[in-house]
Structure 1
Amino acid sequence: MEKRIKGIAIFFSLLFFITNCLYAQDNTDSKTLSQIITTVQEAYNVQFNYAEDVIDGISLKPPNKNLSLSDVIIYLENNTGLSFTLMNDNFILIKPRTDITLCGYLKGKDSLGVLPFATVQTIDRSTTSDKNGFFKIKIKNPLQLITIRHLGYKTITKPYNQFKISGCSDIYMLSDFQLLSQVIISNYITSGINKIDNGSFQIDFSNLKILPGLIDHDVLQSVQAFPGIQSVNETVSNINIRGGTHDQNLILWDDIKMYQSGHFFGLISMYNPHITQKVSLRKSGSDVSYTDGVSGTIEMQTNHEVNREFKGVIGANLTDVNGFADIPINESSSLQVAARKSISDFFETPTYTAFFDRISQNTEVASNATTITNTDKTFDFYDTSLRWIYNISDKDKLRVNFINVHNQLQFNENAIVDQEEESRDSKLTQNSIAGALHYSRVWNDKLKTDLEVYETDYKLRAINANILDSQRFLQENIVSETSTKLKMGFNLNKRLQLLNGYHFVETEVTNLDDVDNPLFRFLVSEVVRTHGVFSQVGYKTLNNKTNLNVGLRYNYISKFNKSIWEPRLSFNHHFFKYFMLEILGEFKHQSTSQVINFQNDFLGIEKRRWQLSNDEEIPIIRSKQISMGLNYSHNGWLIGVDGFYKIVNGITTQSQGFQNQYEFFKSNGRYDVKGLDILFRKYIEKFSTWLSYSYMDNRYLFKDLETNYFPSNYNISHTATLGMTYALNNLKLSAGLNWHSGKPTTQPIFENQIVNEQVNYEATNASNLDDYLRLDISAIYNFKFSDKTRAHLGVSVWNVLDKENEINNFYRVKDESIMETVQKSLGLTPNAVFRVYF
């Protein structure tokens, strides 16, 4: 496994190095104007006079060495937009031209047809092309940016000196092949959160102002702002989409499937917020190119456009220090790099302490046997992310992604053995490393292909030292997955688009339990390979009032010789001007799930381990779901109502986290959930307030356990959220109140709690914990250090009321009496951030 991980890192390092070396060789012909001036001065014995800022940033190919001095001056004027005046035989004055004009004929790159009515803009002027595609616009200086836009074509933005300046030449625009998803409801909850015409919700972090309790753009905390999305234990590693478990979520980072979600074992997202530009949430109606995620899909994306201007961010909060750089390599390539590192090595903050106490609560880390003490408890995490884009040509684009995440918890167990003090280390590590290559080509205005290849690896490893028994217990859970996907998009006409493709996935899961005293070793490694073929038709009316995507995916799992057909549907229609009807539906399957064998596995911190289906006692999980929604949007008001019904077959008791009479039972069954999500939102420029409510009836059916349905462990019947944000110039404020009914629990029968030395439970999940209530606030202030440098200062308080919410409980028999263990939520937890953008 370690060799494989090292191989991935070496492969992407070599790919990055070799490609950049080749790219650098391709651009050796271009030199800065300053370098060219030096060469011309030596060759023609002349002297140039100019201000440094006049020529700064201008690059071009050197003039031919056989040209005369007058021809060199003409060449430089035509290709820089500057004025070169020969004052005498050996003195040339360079200054900005006052009569700079850009003109040209706009044409389609593929069709070569003229493009009338295109918009051409500078910072202070604008014009449109005529019926022949011709335009003419005045420019202040050679470095001024010109933007050219035309519907159906990719926008051109570059400085004047990068156009072909001599004469009014042809300027070609590349077809924007993809039918881009369109926003149908903007500011769905607050600014930066939108509803898209394919049925998904999207958070654009470049426009997102603030959310209650969050001062960083925590990706997986942010998606919980939507109705129907919550976490029963407040962690991003246990997100429940409409009553499903976390392992039933498909989590993608730039099209790479991820098997780990958070740092601090789930309290904060492991995805760096600076490099993650957008996140899309799909509760249902997925695109046919997606597999897995029977409950929902969370898709994160970096910026896929080449950056031409350096951008950087450095910052720190009460848990980590972080940095980000967006580095332009040249006109066709840019690199993004991001990193975070916990600050616990240097000092412990109140936030760190609250997080550590929360994750270690009721585990061996917090308490051990009465004769054993735990000391030197430390926790450390870091993550690094990379995204590199190379526009090989107008039609070809290459993207490379890499992510590496590490969490480590360590402590010493100390005891007196045979009148001597002994100490042994216990440790838990959690790692993810993944890399991907994405190549797309636009063949013409009808056909586009995308090739996606990724390798993702996850490893959970624990060493539990038992001093009293002189025992070392090693546990490992390893997931290694390789995926290759080819997509072909066809634009049949302006209204119809066809998507076809093939997808191959190989997933290997290894589980190890190793004890040294007495000797015991249990190792299981399994592989499942899946072939998928998919096709989808997209239809959109010319007035964009109706949008339909309907498709079918065929999956073949070779190990089980099993075929699975999965239809998908996404439909929305605008009517009566302010109303929209939406219908979403899908069939899905997945072969992986997370299970709990024992509550003290992996030190009890991250006790879930991934496993593969064997199509027998561990079935393939399959889901069917449909939803229908009605939205009204007008004058800043939004009212949305969504009803849904979902059936998921093939779940196991081990995947559901039972801690009652079924804790050690192994059975498979199903759950179905029906419910309603309601949202009221009012948006007034700088102020946004919303109230959401969700109702859910979530129930299990395990025929080997009970003949009738009983409530699911994730049946949070009622959930309500009241939130508001306010922006005043550079100050942004937000507050949110979160309430939901208590998590289901199974209590002992009153006055008959113990039978045969075991807990005598009531009907399964017949009771509930106390209701949950949490108030969060946050504030962010932005200010400038200079024209190019700005700063960001923020503070937040999670659980302002410091309410001790119960998020879980269980019962055990000890000394012939019942002992209840209660797990509490985070208490009052402050955080602060300071960040500089440059």
Structure 2
Amino acid sequence: MKHLFLSLFFFSTSYIVFAQDSQISGTIEDSETGETLLGATIYSKESEKGTVTNEYGFFSLTIPKGKQTLVVSYLGYQDFIQEINLSSPQKLKIQLKVDNSLLEEVVITTTTNTKSQTRSVIAGSVNLKPKDIKQIPALLGEPDITRSVLTQPGVSSVGEGTSGFNVRGGNIDQNLILLDEAPIYNSSHVWGFFSIFNADAVKDMQLYKGGIPARYGGRASSVLDIRQREGSNKQFKGEGGLGLLFSRLTLEGPIKKDKLSFLASGRRSYFDLFFPLIKSIKGNKVYFYDLNAKLSWNINENNKLFASGYFGADVMKLKFTEENDGDTQNTNSSNTNETIDFQWKNATATLRWNHIFSSKLFMNISGIYSRYNYALSSENSGGGPTGTTASNFTWKSAVENWIIKPDFTLYQNADTKIRFGVNSTLYRFTPAKVTGNEAGINTINFGTEKGLEIAPYVSYDRKWKAFSMNAGLRYSWFGNIGPYKVSFYDPSLPQTVSTITGSKTYKSNKVIKSYKGFEPRLALKYDLSDRKAIKLGYNRMFQYIHLISNTNAALPFDIWKPAGFHIKPLEVNQISAGYAYDTEDSQYNFSIDGYYKNFKNQVEYKNGADLFLNENLETQLLTSNGYSYGVELGAYKTKGKLTGNANYTYSVTKRKTTSSFASENLNNGNYYPSNYDRPHIFNLTTNYKLNKKWSAGAFFTYQTGRPTTYATGKFEIDGNQYFTYSDRNAYRLKDTHRLDLSFTYTPERNKGRKWQGSWVFGVYNAYARKNAFSVYSSLRNNQLKTFQYSVIGAPIPFITYNFKF
């Protein structure tokens, strides 16, 4: 691998070209802001060759010398056409103008659309722009990236108000979520109701769920790559929104015109401001906030520097008070007061340097830091949810990443591109630090675990006349590193605390256990015509970290655990095939994708597993294998008064435990549906332009109810009642469906006024559907009763005022 990278670098710097060819390279920008445009198309009419800009707006194209007509296009912008006489390599800076007719005319007539699947070699990839996100009706009117992802085929969640999303049968921890290349471990606020991403600060978002390029790794099911805006280097600008329970503001502008720009974006909820007005919840606090910042420095035509960061937090303070019963003779009758604090925070920092070695070789080096920490504390005067005696405790946990990633792109010619680099990640896990006044927990400290992942990669893009290929190879090595104490167990018995035979403490930076493997990636596309294409793909992914959570919905304080002595890395292999079709006028885009995935070494939980404050977590875990397959159908309409998309997904996701001890295996070692097995999902998203001022949006979803485990009976021991349960996931909740509506009013633009405003009105869960989230059982009149619990069971209206200046 090392020799391959050196060979590629040597070849690139040698600058070998055919005598009759030459290169044009440069950047594509927004003429008003100077913001680089990701995915803009550059096409030469004479040579019929073309390319697209990379993540930083850079392109390179090798075409024959002589007269060439270049056409540059990008969604929402006027096409740029320029004739050049190419005799030697040329470097261009092309600025595109926003097509204002798209804002003023009722009928959208753009010739460029991003919903076509015929152009991309990789099947199962989805591109979303901020404008797409803002058109989807969302809870309380807050534009939500996570909910926009959930409108796509092959993507689901375990229910309303849950953190994360599931892609093609994978758990939520199998999604690599990146914000300016920094990994995000919890992408939601308020237990999953809202996304942490402020849509006003987002430039572009790409979801990979089929073929995954070789430069991505560390997760097994999907990649959600989110890029923040760079900020205008031309003029000072701002935008934001005022809602019933949220406000947001984004400011951007030049520090030095055309050289140095900034973007700062903030958002805060203010649920807590209303709590003092309601006696029953006075003294409680529930709020969150986000801060995004970015600096962009155009040092010269060959060098750019970017510094960006994100910080967000959730704060919850809940008070529980129980008055005495008024019996002054009863000494046990007293007031009960308990305060529970939840806090979880995300923080990232990214420093990136772009350097252009030549018209053919582009480099980006990134240094990245990411931290996710969470805490739970309780102060109890006696009674309340956490106990019947006076006590207090604080529990803290954290995950940190330090990443170095040099990445090179070699534009060999118009039809060949090679990308290579290495991704090095140092992980630091703090499972639990607990302080308190109760015996047994006042000194709990599980210490820290560390892991090192090193992954060189190379990908090769090649296009022939009708055939295109993206072939990639990633080699990943992961080491679980000390200091850490490892327990050993009697191999003839199941792992329990009572079967521990000894332990060993590994010194600092000592490799406890290592894993390695090749991760091949292949994507093929054959163009049946310029509007029809078939695709095939294969990829293998290794995942070396696991989210340990045996709840149906992940909680903010669930534990992240690296692969190590007792926990193996997850391996996923996926094959996929697809067909894409665009109508002649590109008004409609259609796609169908099929896939099959197998999962090896998934983490599963024993019946009755106790994960909280358990130093020997491996005694509560089982290893499982599984598979998932499905078909996804999508249809998009991109022009006219009515735009939107409809998609349907049929999928099956199953797993089985593989313990060598039959007594441990769930469901007698047979396959059973995973927690997120939803065979049928239908989504419909529409936006209708009523006139120049008003538009209406709607989102409807229908999903098969997810699997669950029911209490099936009861028994009594020493006067205490206990439940018996069915096999794992033997039953299903009721099917779910929901309709959300929105209406947007945009006054006529005043050309002499910079301020522009619009109003969004709507309702979430329009017909008050009570979708079951979970089940719980209790004894009523000595009879076992099972009930279904709904998080949201009523319509929730909203109103938001959005503005730009």
Normalised by the shorter chain, which TM-score bucket?
0.7 to 0.9
Is the contact between residue 627 and residue 645 of structure 1 (CA under 8 Å) also seen in structure 2? yes
**CA RMSD across the alignment:** 3.8
**Equivalent residue in structure 2 for 1:238, among 132, 141, 164:** 164
1:837 offset after TM fit, Å? 0.5
- Report the AA paired with residue 555 of structure 1: S
Residue 129 of structure 2 is aligned to residue 204 of structure 1: yes
- 2:537 match: 584
Q: Please report how far the alpha carbon of residue 638 of structure 1 lies from its aligned counterpart in structure 2 after TM superposition.
A: 3.1
**Aligned match of 1:522 in 444, 454, 459?**
444
Counterpart residue type for residue 708 of structure 1? N
CA gap of 1:459–1:132, structure 2 versus 1, over 3 A, is closer
Residue in structure 2 matched with residue 671 of structure 1 by the alignment: 626
Q: Distance in 1 between matches of 2:158 and 2:72?
A: 52
In structure 2, what residue type is equivalent to 1:337?
Answer: A
Check whether the contact 2:536–2:576 (CA below 8 A) recurs between aligned residues.
yes
Kept in 1, the 8 Å contact 2:72–2:81? The answer is yes
Deviation of 1:285 after TM superposition, in Å, equals 1.4
Alignment partners' CA distance in 2, 1:334 and 1:115? 36
Task: Tell whether the 8 Å contact from 2:696 to 2:744 is kept in structure 1 after alignment.
Answer: yes
Matches within 5 A, 1:639-678: 639-654=590-605, 665-678=620-633
1:744 pairs with 2:707: yes
1: distance between equivalents of 2:288 and 2:474? 39
Cα offset for 1:453?
Answer: 0.8
Counterpart pick for 1:794 among 753, 760, 766: 760
Q: For 1:338-377, what aligned pairs fall within 5 Å after superposition?
A: 338-347=265-274, 376-377=283-284
Deviation of 1:303 (Å): 2.8
2:680 is aligned to 718
Q: Which amino acid aligns with 1:697?
A: V
Relative to structure 1, is the Cα distance of residues 110 and 820 closer, same or farther in structure 2, using a 3 angstrom cutoff? closer
The reply on whether 1:825 has 2:748 as its aligned counterpart is: no
Distance 1:535 1:671 in 2: 29
SS of residue in 2 equivalent to 1:225:
coil
Residue in 2 that maps onto 1:24: none
Q: Kindly report which structure 2 residues correspond to 1:89-488, keeping only aligned pairs within 5 A, or say none.
A: 117=69, 128-129=82-83, 131=85, 153-156=92-95, 186=113, 188=115, 196-199=120-123, 200-206=125-131, 210-213=135-138, 215-235=141-161, 237-304=163-230, 307-329=233-255, 330-347=257-274, 376-415=283-322, 416=324, 421=335, 423-468=337-382, 469-488=389-408
Looking at structure 2, the residues matched to 694 and 724 of structure 1 have their Cα atoms a distance apart, in angstroms, of 18
Seen in structure 2, the aligned counterparts of structure 1 residues 805 and 655 have a Cα distance that, compared at 3 Å, is: farther
The separation in 2 between residues aligned to 1:232 and 1:647, in whole angstroms, is 21
2:697 paired with 1:734: yes
Tell me what 2:475 maps to: 554
Count how many residue pairs are aligned between Structure 1 and Structure 2.
Answer: 659
State the Cα distance separating 1:452 from its structure 2 match.
0.7
Q: State TM-score, norm by structure 1.
A: 0.72
Quick one: which amino acid aligns to residue 229 of structure 1?
A: V
Deviations 1:66-111 (A, max 9, x none): xxxxxxxxxxxxxxxxxxxxxxxxxxxxxxxxxxxxxxxxxx9999
The 1:587–1:670 alpha-carbon spacing in structure 2 relative to 1, beyond 3 Å, is same
Q: d(CA) in 1 for partners of 2:165 and 2:86?
A: 55
1:539 corresponding residue in structure 2: 462
Change (3 A) 1:499 1:607: closer
Change (3 A) 1:770 1:701: same
Residues in 1 aligned to 2:607 and 2:144: alpha-carbon distance in whole angstroms = 26
Corresponding position: 1:779 with 2:734:
no
> Taking structure 1 as reference, are residues 393 and 684 closer, same or farther at Cα in structure 2, changes over 3 Å only?
closer
Instruction: Indicate conservation of the 8 Å contact 1:595/1:656, yes or no.
Output: no
Paired residues of 1:285 and 1:585 also in contact (CA < 8 A): yes
Q: Within 1, Cα distance between the matches of 2:246 and 2:313?
A: 13
Q: Deviations over 1:377-420 (max 9, x none)?
A: 22011110001111111011111111110110002233458555
| Structure-2 separation of matches of 1:563 and 1:447 | 30
Unaligned runs of 5+ in 2: 1-59, 98-109, 325-330, 383-388, 481-512, 611-617, 659-664
Do the aligned residues in 2 keep the contact of 1:596 with 1:608 (CA within 8 Å)? no
Q: Distance in 2 between matches of 1:510 and 1:768?
A: 36
Residue 265 of structure 1 aligns to a residue whose secondary structure is: helix
Aligned residue number for residue 649 of structure 2: 694
Q: Secondary structure at the match of 1:803?
A: coil
CA contact (8 A) 2:708 2:730 kept: yes
Long gaps (5+) in structure 1: 1-107, 135-149, 159-182, 354-372
1:759 partnered with 2:723:
yes
Residue 260 to residue 124, structure 1, CA distance change in 2 (3 Å): closer
Q: What per-residue deviation string (whole Å, max 9, x for no partner) do you get for residues 20-50 of structure 1? A: xxxxxxxxxxxxxxxxxxxxxxxxxxxxxxx
Q: For the structure 1 residues 811 and 589, does the alpha-carbon distance in structure 2 shift closer, same or farther, using more than 3 Å as the test?
A: farther
1:255–1:299: 8 Å Cα contact kept in structure 2? yes
Distance in 1, matches of 2:402 and 2:156, equals 30
In 1, Cα distance between the equivalents of 2:133 and 2:651? 29
- Structure 1 residues 655 and 296: alpha-carbon distance in aligned structure 2, compared to 1, 3 A threshold: farther
Query: Does 1:564 pair with 2:517?
Result: yes
Distance 1:627 1:331, change over 3 A: same
When residues 205 and 115 of structure 1 are mapped into structure 2, their CA distance, relative to the original with a 3 A threshold, is: farther
Aligned AA for 1:767?
Y
Q: Does the residue aligned with 2:150 lie in a helix, a strand or coil?
A: helix
Structure 1 residues 297 and 132 mapped into 2: Cα distance closer, same or farther (>3 Å)?
A: closer
Q: Give me the whole-angstrom Cα distance separating, in 2, the residues matched to 1:773 and 1:348.
A: 31
1:480-506 deviations in Å (ceiling 9; x for gaps): 111000112112221111111111101
Higher RCO, 1 vs 2 (CA within 8 Å, ≥6 residues apart): 2
Assess if the C-alpha contact under 8 Å between 2:164 and 2:186 holds in 1. no
Pair 1:805 & 2:805 matched? no
Check 1:539–1:466 CA distance in 2 against 1; reply closer, same or farther (3 A cut): same
CA distance in 2, matches of 1:710, 1:157: 54
SS in 2 for 1:729: coil
Aligned residue identity for 1:211: I
Comparing 406-415 with 303-312, greater Cα deviation is found at 303-312
What residue is the counterpart of 1:836 in the other structure? 803
Secondary structure, aligned partner of 2:305: strand
Q: Distance in 1 between matches of 2:79 and 2:122?
A: 36
Q: CA deviation at 1:130?
A: 5.8
Instruction: For 1:246 and 1:655, locate their aligned partners in 2 and report how far apart those are by CA, in whole Å.
Output: 20
For the residues of structure 2 that align with 1:203 and 1:652, how far apart are their CA atoms?
32
Could you give the per-residue CA deviations for residues 661-691 of structure 1, whole angstroms, max 9, x where no partner exists? xx99521212211111112344541212543
